[in-house]
Amino acid sequence: MAPRKIFGIVLAGGEGKRLMPLTEDRAKPAVPFGGQYRLIDFALSNLLNSGLRQIVVLTQYKSHSLDRHVSQTWRMNGLLNSYVASVPAQQRLGKRWFSGSADAILQSLNLIYDEHPDIIVVVGADHVYRMDFAQMIEAHINSGAEATVAAIRQPIGLADQFGVIEVDPDDPERINRFLEKPKDPIGLPDAPHEVLASMGNYVFNAQALIDSVLSDGERTDSSHDMGGDIIPSFVEKGTAGVYDLRRNDVPGSTDRDRYYWRDVGTIDSFFEAHQDLISVLPVFNLYNREWPIFSQQLNSPPAKFTRDARGSLGTMIDSIVSLGSVISGAHVERSVLGPWAIVGSGAHVADSIIFDRARIEAGATVRRAILDKEVVVEEGAQIGVNHDVDRARGFIVTDSGITVVGKGSRVRAQA
């Protein structure tokens, strides 16, 4: 069999309203994660590790930092016709922006026509996971399906949080129905207590995808969404398959993190995904050298842990600390610190996520909080200790008690 030409599309135009204020000044895929990464790095690393070498990133909402990150981080050797290219909405079909993920592909068909691929891999840009798409592509080709949806098993009680795939009992690799957040789901034939939830990752025969988005673009009753409109059209034709993530064996995975996938679309899930990184045996292991997560490597010094001016030692427990950070006589536990974060003498940081260049001054307390870039917590100030005070200052506090401080804010000590 002749080798198939594979083309990758990353859908990165999401607004991410549920992650406000972290998305107030940036697109959701550009939100920092795990200290030195951006959310989009996980999708792009998976595609690159899977052997894809022609990848476009479709952007739209507040895309400057995302476009800059892609251009600075994901340079490829153009002499070998390899590239990762950020492509903003171009209004090729009139004076309008993308009206959905399927419309984003419709308005970007010129990118596909230029490359003439046989297979197109379409992925989201804001999930945390590892996956070898080469294995999924092989399964797609062997199945004879026109479209294949990647899916992960979830407890049936969580079905109303996902797009759920019902399989053919006689052919568990074929999709019978694709249901959006069903209230009365049917369990899997081999596991009645589980359902298959869509991961938002797809493999298509190229011409079938082209025909589908062109047809969808002519409909006035469509939301022009990949999961809501395009996949159901393949299901209706009987040409949609499903790829269970349990079939995927990523090199270097452990039994603990092999089938990890997290949608970090809310503040709570974003916070919980960070907690998954920092345990002794992490639920998601950033230290897998056989399947690395790539990102921009800043020209920064190592992290530094020092006594403070009085000679007091700090403590660092179950935490991730990025390059350029300095912790001086402070206590940090169960937290993730981004590049160039500063934590001063006697400060106490617990169960928190600290973005780039944030500064926590002497004696300050940060508890169960997310601090965006360049936030300053002044000497003796407190965040996450009194939620009523946090709300009065204008900060978001989730129902689960996570305080979020927007980019560049200054938190002053109470009088």
Residue ranges of domains in the chain? 6-275, 304-411
Of 125, 206, 141, nearest to 214 by C-alpha is 206
- Rounded-to-integer distance, Cα 354 and Cα 368, Å: 11
* Residue partners of 13: CB distance under 8 A and separation at least 6: 27, 58, 59, 60, 61, 63, 89, 98, 101, 104
Position 194 scores a pLDDT of 92
Give the per-residue pLDDT at 299.
Answer: 83
Which residues carry a binding-site annotation? 163, 180-181, 198
Mean pLDDT of all residues in 24-41: 93
List the Cα angle 134/139/144 in 5-degree steps. 130
Q: Which SS3 state, helix, strand or coil, does residue 21 take?
A: coil
Distance CA 29, CA 14 (A): 7
Query: d(Cα 56, Cα 54) in Å, to the nearest integer?
Result: 7
Tokens of 186: 């049917």
Please determine, for residue 59, whether its predicted confidence score (pLDDT) is greater than 70. Answer: yes
- Cβ atoms 186, 156 nearer than 8 A: no
Q: How far apart are CA 172 and CA 243, in angstroms?
A: 9
What does the alpha-carbon distance between residue 15 and residue 26 come to, in Å, rounded to a whole number? 8
Cα–Cα distance measured from residue 344 to residue 330, given in angstroms and rounded to the nearest whole number: 6
Confidence band for 90, pLDDT divided at 50, 70 and 90: confident
Instruction: Using the predicted structure, report yes or no on whether residue 185 has a pLDDT greater than 90.
Output: no
Asked if the model's pLDDT at residue 1 lies above 60, the reply is: no
Question: Looking at the DSSP assignment, which residues form a beta bridge with residue 403?
Answer: 369, 397
User: d(Cα 127, Cα 296) in Å, to the nearest integer?
Assistant: 18
Q: What is the pLDDT of residue 408?
A: 94
Task: Note the pLDDT of residue 345.
Answer: 93
SS3 content of the chain, % helix, strand, coil (to 5): 25, 30, 45
Q: Which of the following CATH numbers is that of domain 6-275: 3.90.550.10, 3.90.1200.10, 3.10.150.10, 3.10.20.30?
A: 3.90.550.10
CA-to-CA distance for 247 and 133, rounded, in angstroms? 11
Distance CA 147, CA 234 (A): 7
298 pLDDT band (50/70/90 cuts)?
Answer: confident
Inter-residue contact 107 to 213 (CB < 8 Å):
no
Say what the pLDDT of residue 52 is.
94
Q: Which of 351, 360, 297 is nearest to 328 (CA)?
A: 360
pLDDT on residue 49 = 96
Rounded average pLDDT over 257-273? 93
Cα 88 to Cα 14, 121, 200, distances in angstroms: 12, 19, 20
State whether CATH 3.40.50.2300 applies to domain 304-411.
Answer: no
The mean pLDDT of the chain is 91
Residue 197 has pLDDT above 90, yes or no: yes
Which residues does the annotation place in the binding site for alpha-D-glucose 1-phosphate? 163, 180-181, 198
**Percent residues over pLDDT 90 in the chain:** 69
- pLDDT higher than 80, residue 92: no
In this structure, which amino acid lies at residue 113?
Y
List Cα–Cα distances, 94 to 14, 107, 156, 383, in angstroms: 21, 9, 43, 47
Q: How many residues does the chain have?
A: 415
Query: CA 129 to CA 135: how far, in whole Å?
Result: 15
Answer for the pair 60, 89: CB distance below 8 angstroms, yes or no: yes
